Structure 1
Amino acid sequence: MLVAGAGGHAFELLDILISEGKTKNLYFFDEINPGEVFQDRFPIIHTEEQVKSYFEKDPFFILGTGNP
């Protein structure tokens, strides 16, 4: 699954995803910040091309932007 966002709201969603055992192939999307991993564990992708490539393998996503 791809989480669109890699900030505070995404962090709160991560807690839920971990508790539900949904961390297999979990990626985060952040086109603004340069980090490579989210919470020292999950890859962050940064470009629209990477998102398109990811969606070819897994079309599931959740929005993790905004204020928690």
Structure 2
Amino acid sequence: MRIQIVTTNPTTPNQGNAVTAKRWSRFCRQLGHVVRIDSVADFDKAWNADVLVALHAEKSADAMRQF
């Protein structure tokens, strides 16, 4: 399964949603899924994910609507 994780700032290494995104990514990859982490600004619907995990619902609202 292709899982896309969208978060406010995935490049901040040790803070909030970036840590959560990396944790979810690791768990999902261990289960054999293909995972991509994007920032809200760089959301790419064309990646054609099967599942979207949107961290911070308010700031990820546009990505959720596009998905």
The TM-score, its normalising length taken from structure 2, stands at: 0.48
The TM-score, its normalising length taken from structure 1, stands at: 0.48
